[in-house]
Amino acid sequence: MSLARQSVSALRALLVKGEIKPSDILDDLFAEVGSREKDIGAFLSLDPGRIRAAADLADLSRPLGGIPIAFKDNINVLGDPCTCGSRFLAENYRSPYDAGVTRRLRYSGAVFFGRTNLDEFAMGSATENSALQKTNNPAAPGHIPGGSSGGSAAAVAASFVPAALGSDTGGSIRQPASHCGVVGMKPSYGRVSRYGLVAFASSLDQIGPLTRTVEDAALILQCIAGHDPLDSTSLPVEVPDYSVDLKKGVRGLRIGIPREYFADGLDPAVRAATEAAIQHLQEQGAEVIEITLPHTEYAVATYYIIAPAEASSNLSRFDGVRYGHRASQPADILSLYQRSREEGFGPEVKRRIILGTYVLSSGYYDAYYNKAQKVRTLIRRDFENAFTQVDAIVSPVAPSPARKMGECTNPLEDYLADVCTIPVNLAGLPAISVPLPVAGLPIGLQIITPHLQEALMLRIAHAVETR
């Protein structure tokens, strides 16, 4: 079998035994990229010469020594481009520093592969909001790969790379993983440093891995998790060993099925695949319990107030003075700001900035932003109540499989499809998407556990995967 189709753990075993070298892995990956990347469009930049040079220097004694990993193009790697899928940063920005996860992956011996496409500033669910290129779904050509980490999911699904990093603010790791048939994990808020991730909505953003197996997700989480004093929201708590309980199975675990996530609009194929997975968990000895998360219906509206509010503030730094695009020959400083932003941002980013500025403006702040914060608390409490009855919650990731490219004309349709992933970010919980065995378009199962209980989440995910 080509090394390009192997998991991180399988590649590590071969490297450690001395049966292969990091350059052998690259030979197979570059062969795949060379033959299919023109049809997929996963990468915004890729420098084979530098990747090969880095692989030759990889320290194989480290946990990810010699393993190529792709980065979503909103995570800073010193000296690399970091376009965020935006014209604003595509022209001339180079990262002046490493993100927290970048440092940890360097220390772990990983070989930094290409930089992957995304919706502009991670705002979207299809990667169609990238200002730079389209990305096709390798598992379902002509369909979206999901988003916003669509390039990362596509790169793993296409066997261009065994693992990639993504970011998840409202589902952007889990939903593309589900649509492309790979594993995608969003860690608990505070588990992984956000330092050097270009901020979209700071109270929701988390970085996490996209991989081919649950075991690989655990391996990478092990390397990127932990306290970072450069991110004030990063938690100063111990990182457990994510491999010890991985294969313990689900016997005796109580699994909650939230009735609100199985509403009428659910696609029949998603419903069938999800129910089959739940039955499998039951057969493995888990106790399945119906639960309620009563404020679910308010989650999308709440998120689409809070996330744009934070984005409008975060994106004010793109003013044409310090970073990226600058309008030529502005009449004065105000027109420098206005024209740089007018020319640099795409329509979805502008929509979010306008929405966010509106809900924060005096007179509307209490009606919208403050109200949304209160509802966010109710959504978090729904989960806290549920976790007094169950150990974990299982649900669909998205109400339907990947739609066709170019099929969505009203952004609201995509917003509404975030219904199963958004509540998890509002509550700061960990969640994972695991591919289910289906004949048609890929479908993932979402597993949600209490805050910092990634080990339990991975253990259940492993049981689903090894079906």
The site for ligand GLN (CB under 6 A) is made up of: 122-125, 148, 168-172, 200, 307, 418
3-state secondary structure of 445: strand
3-state secondary structure of 294: helix
What gap in Å lies between CA 342 and CA 306, rounded to an integer? 23
Whether 45 is catalytic is: no
- How far lies 340's CA from each of 86, 101, 311, 323, in Å? 13, 30, 17, 10
Q: Taking the CB of residue 439, how many other CB atoms lie within 10 A of it?
A: 6
**Strand 392-396 relative to strand 254-258, pairing:** parallel
Closer to ligand GLN at the Cβ: 30 or 368?
A: 368
User: In the bound complex, what is the minimum distance in angstroms from residue 68's beta carbon to ligand GLN?
Assistant: 24
Whether 61 is catalytic is: no
User: In the bound complex, what is the minimum distance in angstroms from residue 170's beta carbon to ligand GLN?
Assistant: 3
Q: Which residues pair with 68 in a beta bridge?
A: 111
Closer to ligand GLN at the Cβ: 123 or 286?
A: 123
Tokens of 76: 């800073």
Closer to ligand GLN at the Cβ: 355 or 456?
A: 355
User: In the bound complex, what is the minimum distance in angstroms from residue 317's beta carbon to ligand GLN?
Assistant: 18
Whether 350 is catalytic is: no
Given the residues 167, 172, 312, 433, the one annotated as active site? 172
Given the residues 7, 72, 86, 193, the one annotated as active site? 72
User: In the bound complex, what is the minimum distance in angstroms from residue 404's beta carbon to ligand GLN?
Assistant: 18
Closer to ligand GLN at the Cβ: 330 or 411?
A: 411
Closest chain position to ligand GLN (CB): 172
Residue (of 434, 438, 364) closest to 178 by Cα position: 434
Helix (H) or strand (E) holding 431: strand 431-435
What gap in Å lies between CA 121 and CA 140, rounded to an integer? 25
What gap in Å lies between CA 211 and CA 288, rounded to an integer? 28
Which residue bears the tokens 């919208």?
368
Residue (of 20, 19, 22, 25) closest to 2 by Cα position: 25
Tokens of 314: 């975060």
Tokens of 34: 């060379």
User: In the bound complex, what is the minimum distance in angstroms from residue 208's beta carbon to ligand GLN?
Assistant: 11
User: In the bound complex, what is the minimum distance in angstroms from residue 108's beta carbon to ligand GLN?
Assistant: 25
3-state secondary structure of 241: coil
Given the residues 95, 130, 148, 340, the one annotated as active site? 148
Closer to ligand GLN at the Cβ: 190 or 256?
A: 190
Closer to ligand GLN at the Cβ: 30 or 303?
A: 303
How many residues belong to the chain? 467
Closer to ligand GLN at the Cβ: 8 or 270?
A: 270
Instruction: Count each helix (H run) and each strand (E run) in the chain, helices first.
Output: 16, 11
Tokens of 260: 């609100």
User: In sequence order, which residues have a C-beta less than 8 Å from that of residue 466 and are 6 or more positions away?
Assistant: none
What gap in Å lies between CA 234 and CA 294, rounded to an integer? 29
User: In the bound complex, what is the minimum distance in angstroms from residue 327's beta carbon to ligand GLN?
Assistant: 27
What gap in Å lies between CA 214 and CA 356, rounded to an integer? 36
Which residues are catalytically annotated? 72, 148, 172
